[in-house]
Structure 1
């Protein structure tokens, strides 16, 4: 793996956090929610602000949000569809929720809208679930939450009760349910599933490749796994992928990103023995082979972070914790780690070279005004990204 970047170029920087939502639109990373630690307290981040990070310029901005603002939460399932950010589920001061909200990322108003479904029934309240976006719909899987005992399907075992958590006839536990939300119809449906479904779980990771949704690992009752399962989003058939090579250790609170037509990138998480992880792995879903990759962030373990796919197959990891949050809960982060997983195009190599070296090369500085206006603007943005920070200037 080639060198990666870790930058905060602006004076304004998003607060450190874990369990947040992040989506990428063009070269802009949007971050909302999550929580952090202050002294011995866990504090939810403000629900009425959204942070935007320009990946080309390295500049953060924060915006006030309006409308039907959701509660401050962590563990929501966020995604981007039709240039809107959707969040579903999560945990607030009252426990898990099953509400869904969206916000338009294009108009600059950042107005939340709570979606009231017209068709079907919403999933039960849950957090630490995942989703796939396919064919204009959002498909949700798994999570940890609560149900009435009367709605627990003990025969099909789609919900495993957490024996340590129940009050009266309300039970908490893990599920492996699949629910489809269609924004155009404001509808919830459950497809008829075929094949052997993965065990109920939460804090797993997911990614979409073409018409197939993948999940990896997660918390399954009292253990953490590294198993891989694929759901065909057309036939609704589950298939387990059995690797033919060395596999990553079991983990939860990690991320999985699609970086090519047939490869997935796994990063970080919390291991079976509760160790924060900093390893990176690539899975070829066709050959079923895992390959550990070298990267510059071996000293930066992360769990309950977010990962978004950027241009040229970069993976942008933001936030998360660097310690075992169930015990210590002090090491929340706010840096953006950019992983390069594919060779860059020649244009980007040239643009970055100029931006990195123009300040120390007189020849480049003199030739810069000769660039076409559009190209000059692009290079100037990258120069902003690589400009020395105040700390570096001191």
Structure 2
């Protein structure tokens, strides 16, 4: 991958109906959305212009390499930052954020074809006012998840892990009944869509814990894939580098890849690294880039410019370690079909796993590859006070000493917990009775078969009797696809 800083040519004569602009200005916690196949990039809102929130709209033409500030008709949203802005076709749906004093819960639509703001009348149960939430579009439904706001009773901060869905044709809100194990309440997390699924990762909770966990929501059934299974998918069977806990980073999806850039664990220590998740193979990778890239920052905005500029991502603004707003802009050339450097290879072997015990929201799993046990610790999304001691057997437990680590891959202060599962090469023992996966799910069950229930065959067609026949690290993922979770 290769960075390229966008150096703008001298300003040209503004088009009729627009005001010339040399750029979007210094800002952070703003949004930018690519429309018309990546031709135009719309930047809205954010904090930093005159050290306050803004509701200005700036447009960057990625072909002409020029900025403009079009004249917008209709009643604009109040100035804000920390909002979400989602493409529905070439229209932009803006929800929530903060005006600097209070969280917002209003919905606005910018029709880019006519440059007109509208505030649609909605029906149904909508989200409480919030900021730092995420939004994702699946088909014609807008999903709003998480964030934080204020209690109407005492004004204290309230952190959310609820889910609301807006039908973008009828403007009816719905609060669906979620099943499975949802992510813990959080804000400034990452969110993306892949096929008919929504992926939620990382962020910060109400106790100043920084997270690195990954959750997948089946947007059709509103079923959250169990955290413990997802850890096996995304971390436990990968030799790659997992994402360190963080919040305030930028997540961009292109094809089957989900790219994470920047973020922070402390306001004075932002990141400038790149991580890539191959959603299909469930492998995290660090990315090595050429060229001078952006400085360490958080709360930047960006989008994918495909298909006009194939394999090009764009990054705009953000906030540095001195809490200064930035106005620079970079392209990231990913290469053909999302090429990435140093992609990790999966562990090869016959994978076997079984849920042995359940303790409320916690699980014990026994796993093995080619008969060799795997060892490690992962955590459920709900903390438990059940005192379950560790044993010397090869088990993956979802509870532990809370004084040493935090659940969900938290980072708190100077302590850090890793959710990855590492093979124990020193132990050549066997795991008893692991003929596939068996699981008991203590939570509400979705309609249809459970993803881990009385399975006696490996997920990718490997023969359990042929020990030497390798199975790749996506065995659980293949099973996940089979049942459309």
TM-score by length of 2: 0.61
C-alpha contact 1:130 1:141 (8 A) present in aligned 2: yes
- Out of 214, 232, 238, the residue aligned to residue 218 of structure 2 is 232
C-alpha contact 1:249 1:271 (8 A) present in aligned 2: no
Q: Is the aligned partner of 1:21 residue 2:31?
A: yes
| TM-aligned CA distance change 1:316 to 1:3, over 3 Å | closer
CA RMSD of aligned residues (A): 1.9
Matches within 5 A, 1:93-108: 93-107=100-114
- Out of 248, 254, 257, the residue aligned to residue 259 of structure 1 is 254
CA distance, structure 2, for counterparts of residue 180 and residue 206 of structure 1: 15
CA distance, structure 2, for counterparts of residue 214 and residue 297 of structure 1: 30
Query: Where is the strand percentage greater, Structure 1 or Structure 2?
Result: 1
Deviations, residues 278-314 of structure 1 (Å, cap 9, x unaligned): 1011112233221111223455122101121111232
Between Structure 1 and Structure 2, how many residues are aligned? Answer: 312
Q: Is the aligned partner of 1:9 residue 2:9?
A: yes
C-alpha contact 1:8 1:335 (8 A) present in aligned 2: no
C-alpha contact 2:3 2:331 (8 A) present in aligned 1: no
C-alpha contact 1:128 1:144 (8 A) present in aligned 2: yes
CA distance, structure 2, for counterparts of residue 9 and residue 271 of structure 1: 36
Residue aligning to 1:223: 209
TM-score by length of 1: 0.75
| TM-aligned CA distance change 1:294 to 1:6, over 3 Å | farther
Residue aligning to 2:68: 61
- Out of 82, 87, 92, the residue aligned to residue 80 of structure 1 is 87
- Out of 318, 326, 331, the residue aligned to residue 333 of structure 1 is 326
Structure with larger Rg: 2
| TM-aligned CA distance change 1:299 to 1:133, over 3 Å | closer
CA distance, structure 2, for counterparts of residue 176 and residue 72 of structure 1: 25
TM-superposed deviation, 1:7: 2.8
Structure 1: gaps spanning 5 or more residues:
150-167, 346-394
- Out of 283, 303, 308, the residue aligned to residue 308 of structure 1 is 303
| Structure 1 moving runs of 4+ over 3 Å | 2-5, 296-299
| TM-aligned CA distance change 1:272 to 1:288, over 3 Å | farther
CA distance, structure 1, for counterparts of residue 241 and residue 106 of structure 2: 40
Matches within 5 A, 1:231-250: 231-239=217-225, 240=227, 241-242=230-231, 243=235, 244=238, 245-250=240-245
Query: Where is the helix percentage greater, Structure 1 or Structure 2?
Result: 1
TM-superposed deviation, 1:32: 1.1
Task: Find the residue that maps to 2:215 and give its secondary structure.
Answer: strand
Deviations, residues 44-79 of structure 1 (Å, cap 9, x unaligned): 22x2x3111011221111123231211110111111
